[in-house]
Each structure stands twice: as C-alpha cells, then as structure tokens.
Chains A and B, each alone.
Chain A
C-alpha cells in the first residue's frame, strides 16, 4: 500500500514539475502541396515536441489566401502559422499584420545568410521588416525535348544562346518536325521583361514608382512574342490545360520554361510516356528567374507564437525536412545547406540520366532579387491585356505600351 502511495506521490510531483504537460495544439494553415509536406513532417516534430499537436487546415490555393485575407482584415480566426505563396506575400507583408521576424524574440537576422539570397528580399517589406521565412523556391529552367531538337539538327546552345537564336531554332524545329516551339507566346514575354533589370528597378515600377513599361526590355518582350506568334511557333494553349498536357505527351510542344518542379509533374502524370526524351537547361540568353515560392509567417494577432516560431524554424532551417519536401513534393529547398546532398548528384532517368538537380542548384545563386511593388498585379494585368491586343488584333507595339503606361499610371495613383 505504502509503495503505491509513494509511487503516486512521485508521479504527481513529476507532473507538477511539468513533465506531463497538457497537450497544446498548433494550427498551421496551408494549401496543396505544402499541407502534405507539413503533415509528413509531423512524426519528426512529435519526437521533439511530444506535447504539441499540429493541426493542419488545408484549403485550395486561392481559397486559402482568401480566407487569410478575411482573417487578417478582421484580426480573428487566424492560424498560428500561415503558409503564404510568393504571389500573395508582397501584399501581406506590406499590410504589416505579420510579425517582424527580425525583432525579438525571433531574431531571424542571424539566419538570413542560410537562405538563398533573393528569398529574404522577397519577404522583406518597404519598412525593412521580415514578414516570413522562405521554405521553397522554384528555380526557372528550360525543359526541352532532346529528340525533337536532334531531329531538327540543333544543339542545346542554339536554344539558349540568345532570344533570337531561340526563335530561329523554333523555326527550324517547326520546319523539320512540325512541333511548336512553346505553348504560348505570352510565356516568352513574361520572361523577357524579368531580365536585364537595372539596379533599383522592379519589373513594372522603379524605386520612385515611375512606370517602366515603355523601356527597351518591354519593347523587346513584345517584339519577341509577336515574332513567335507570326512565325506560328506557339501552340496558343494555356498552361495546366489538358491540351497542354497532351502537347507534351504527343511531342507537339518542344520546350517549356517554368520552375524546376515541373520536372516532377512531367514524370508523374503530365507525360510519363516521354521518359528519357527531356533535358533541362538554363533559360535562354543567360536569364535567371524564379517561379513561385512558399513562405511561413506568424500573424501579429496569432496565438502560440513561441511554438509557431519553433515550428517555422523546424520546417525551414532543418536540412532533413527541407530535403524531405524536395524528395516528396519537388519543393526545391530555400535553405542553402539542404542543397548539399548526394541526392543532387544523382542522374535522373526521366531526363535521360542528366544531373538536373545540379543544374538547378548552380542556377539558384544567380537568380536576381526582384523588387515587389504594390500595384504589380494591376500592371501585370494591363500588360497582359495589351499583349493580347498586339497578338490577337495586330495592335502597334508602341501604341500598346503607351496605352499601358497611361492605364497603369491612372490605376496606381490610388
């Protein structure tokens, strides 16, 4: 009897000492496939923090961000940790409703160097606050069909030397094989304007919010797009449509420029039958860019901030978790040390044994940081519409860009 009481007493004392704490729940809001990455990291987390449960709230990509907007607007219903995609990060960061991670108790400044350089800039708002930590990036790459290229008697360098040579190569490909060079002429326009930026320039606006759409790189981008369309080198299909997928399956589209993660999709479901026929190269004309990217943030009005910070560090600063995300969901690590692993040296059979991960890893440091401006989304839409008029209705390029400037100025004055 006494032994039992003593045992119970000891147990009670231990509990009082805090060794069997009550369970806390950390709410993480995410979208596919970030939610999968988080869920698969839970077992490792539980080993470190057995008393903290992770509750993942997954919503579709747009739904998630809309729900976050609603919550940030009203200050209620916020998760403890919020996953944010690059496209929405600018707006959330400028809104200043996310905690500045440079400040105590986070003191993230010590970690800046551990991440790929341009990602920190993407997450920093104009007031210099770091609104989120990066977890994955999408290094831009040019995927091409090696067999089609060879049939047209071309080499990879013909595609990548310059934009002009890219278009010329496209004409030869069309003549020799009938395949289109790329899915849509608008793709080439989008990339060209993101290259050759001067210091202090954003894509559409410069530091003084002057509209830059009549600059040479915009004119060139429109001219390239028109050249592609006039030579009938684009299939005029939208990305992620089943036509697009079919284009890959049948080899009617010879190249695609996108984030490195597309490789996994090509292999898994877009065109699994084309195994061994694809290669990856850097973007033409020495361009480097990034497609998307995911970040984790802590809302100012969130709860459990200490645990939230632990979780974010766990997902972003931990080499194993970063690599796991890469292996499972093609989430290219934003953590530099996670880019040092034997995994990158492996030849990838889908790409004919090419060591594509090395290619991408080497491209990453050369990706420029692009300044994000408040009215980027509007400017993007204006340019896209004007480009449609140029391609579809033969509108004059100079007029189109002048109209674009006027429209952007009107809208961005607000």
Chain B
C-alpha cells in the first residue's frame, strides 16, 4: 500500500494510526496496573486513586506469596505441563478433524459437524458433578491427565481449522496428491499441515491460554494442594474479606508471563505462515 499524496487521505491515515495507538494503550492499561499493583502493599492498592507507578513492595509481596501458597512453583510447573500437553493434543486432533470436515464428503458429515457445534453450547459448571464422577471412576482424580485429555478435541478448534483449511487450501491440491499415490494421512501431515501454520499458531495460542486459565476443571478434579494448577493456587489465597491483594497481583503477574512469552513466539509463526508463500495461485 503506497501512501497517496492526497492530504486528506494522509490526514485520515494519521488519525487512523492515532486511534489504533490510543486503543492499544487502553487495552494495555489494566494489564499494566496488574504489574504495578504487584509492587505495592495491599493498603495502597485499595486506595483511590490507585498507584500509577511501581512501588517497592515487590519483595514483600513475593515473600507473602510464598508464605500463603508454599507450593506456588510446583503448581506453576503443573500448569505448564498440562497446558503444553493440552495444546499439543488440541493442535493434532483439531487439525485432523478440521481437515476431514473441510476436505472430504462422507455420510453423516453434516450431522457430525452439528454435533461438534452442539458441544459448544453446554455451560461448563453444570458438568462439575458428572465430570467428577467420571474422573473418580477412572481413578484420575489429582492427576494431570484429567485436565488435558477431556478438552483435547475442542469444538472451537475444529471449527477454526475447518474454516481455515477450507478457505486456504484448494481441493485440487489434495486431489493431485491423492492421484500421485499419497496416503490420506500423509496428505494431511506433509501437505496440509505446513500450509495451515497461521491457524495452528492461533489455535495453539488460544488452547494454551484456555488451559492455563481454566480453574473449574482443576477445582473439581484436583483434591490436594500438591496437584493444584496455578489459577486454583492463586484463588486459594482469596478470601471474601481478607485477601493479600499485593501477593495476589504478584502471583497473577507471574502467571501471565508464560502467556506473554507464548504470544510473542506464536505471532512470529503467524508471520512465517505468510511468507511461506501464497496458497492460491
């Protein structure tokens, strides 16, 4: 896109840049405050106006965090493990199913897809008790597998992959590969998958975040504090009347860092997907 020499266009372009920039700052604000609050005492946080710049209570808050949630780092590790496995499984299962829905015609396809979509409609907390019963029956209480397995082939992921594959990859490519004798799975693995990198990056990011932030699942299934994930551990220090807000904010800030890291890594993937070359010729 070249900048036109039209002054009106240039002005509107400048306004657009300014608006986007201001919007970005507004998006950023609460996030920024979380980090600022992590360095202040509870009394300061709970005053108005709230502190705008970093304070000096970070060490105190971290120590408080360690006192109130002694297993914080262990819970952190559990969260990392569960989220990584959940994401890997999700990427695999969802892209596989999305590929099937996008590229094949088969009986019951519409019904099957409708059922996939229907699962999006169920509110999670009603499933608390039956989920508990299932996990108990399998003996999976207190074990990470109870967290990463059930949602591994989520309907959102399948929908996203199906959408992307259908628009990004021409059927002819698949047909040609098939005519050349390529097995179905190899078509998926060697041809389709590398071309869906932007969607995989997006799905991976979203899956990781969903797993990382989920607390209802762990609440139901994790019975002892050693097995807690991070949200549960952080919540365990929140009382209706007596929360150590500084420590909670410090914990939340630490909890969000992996997500930030992941976002920075995956957004590079999104760009890489673009530079790998256009798909439709």
Contact = CB atoms under 8 A, between A and B. Distances in A.
Q: Classify A-B as touching or not with yes or no (CB < 8 A).
A: yes
Interface of A: 31-33, 35, 55-61, 63, 66-67, 70-71, 73-74, 76-77, 240, 242-243, 245-246, 249, 261, 265, 269-270, 272, 329
B219 A55 contact: no
B13 interface: no
Contact of A57 (B50, B224, B242): B224
B166 to A, nearest CB: 41
Contact of B48 (A63, A66, A243, A265): A243
Nearest to A264: B242
B117 interface: no
A59 B220 CA distance: 11
A76 B129 CA distance: 11
B136 A240 contact: no
A31 B47 contact: no
11 contacts: A33-B242, A35-B236, A60-B239, A63-B219, A66-B219, A70-B132, A74-B136, A240-B241, A242-B47, A246-B46, A272-B43
Given A55-B224, A59-B235, A269-B41, 7 more contacts: A32-B238, A59-B232, A74-B132, A242-B45, A265-B241, A269-B43, A269-B46
A242 B223 contact: no
A250 B236 CA distance: 31
A63 B42 CA distance: 23
A63 B235 contact: yes
Given A59-B235, A243-B48, A245-B47, A77 B242 contact: no
Interface of B: 41-43, 45-48, 50, 128-129, 132-133, 136, 141, 215, 219-220, 223-225, 232, 235-243
A122 B44 CA distance: 38
Nearest to A73: B129
Contacts of B242: 32-33, 265, 329
Contacts, number: 79
Given A58-B225, A61-B239, A66-B219, A245 B46 contact: yes
B238 A77 contact: no
Given A70-B129, A74-B129, A61 B46 contact: no
Contacts of A240: 240-241
Contacts of A242: 45-48, 50
Most buried by B among A63, A73, A243, A272: A63
Given A61-B240, A74-B132, A67 B43 contact: no
B41 to A, nearest CB: 8
Chief secondary structure at chain B's binding surface: loop
B241 A67 contact: no
Contacts of B236: 32, 35, 58-60, 63
Nearest to A77: B223
Given A32-B243, A67-B220, A74-B133, A270 B238 contact: no
Contacts of A58: 225, 236
Given A66-B128, A66-B219, A242-B45, A60 B141 contact: no
A58 B226 CA distance: 11
Nearest to A242: B46
A294 to B, nearest CB: 12
A76 B240 contact: no
Nearest to B132: A70
Given A67-B219, A240-B241, A246-B46, A76 B232 contact: no
Contacts of A243: 48
Nearest to B42: A269
Given A32-B243, A33-B239, A60-B236, A76 B136 contact: yes
A249 B43 CA distance: 10
Contacts of A55: 224
Contacts of B225: 56-58
Contact of B239 (A32, A71, A73, A74): A32
Contacts of A269: 41-43, 46
Contacts of A63: 215, 219, 232, 235-236
Contacts of B232: 59, 63
Given A58-B225, A70-B132, A270 B239 contact: no
B202 to A, nearest CB: 31
Contact of A70 (B220, B240, B241): B220
Contacts of A70: 128-129, 132, 220
What 4 A-B pairs come out closest when comparing CB atoms?
Answer: A32-B239, A60-B235, A245-B46, A246-B48
B47 A57 contact: no
Contacts of B219: 59, 63, 66-67
Contacts of B241: 240, 261, 265
Contacts of B239: 31-33, 60-61
A249 B141 CA distance: 46
Contacts of A329: 242
A269 B45 CA distance: 10
A329 B244 CA distance: 13
Contacts of A272: 43
Contacts of B237: 32, 60
B50 to A, nearest CB: 7
A66 B220 CA distance: 9
A249 B47 contact: yes
Nearest to A55: B224
Nearest to B130: A74
Residue in A60, A66, A71 with the greatest tally of chain B CB atoms within 10 Å: A60
A70 B232 CA distance: 16
A71 B133 CA distance: 10
Nearest to A71: B132
A265 B242 CA distance: 8
A144 to B, nearest CB: 20
A240 B129 CA distance: 31
Nearest to A78: B223
Contacts of B129: 70, 73-74
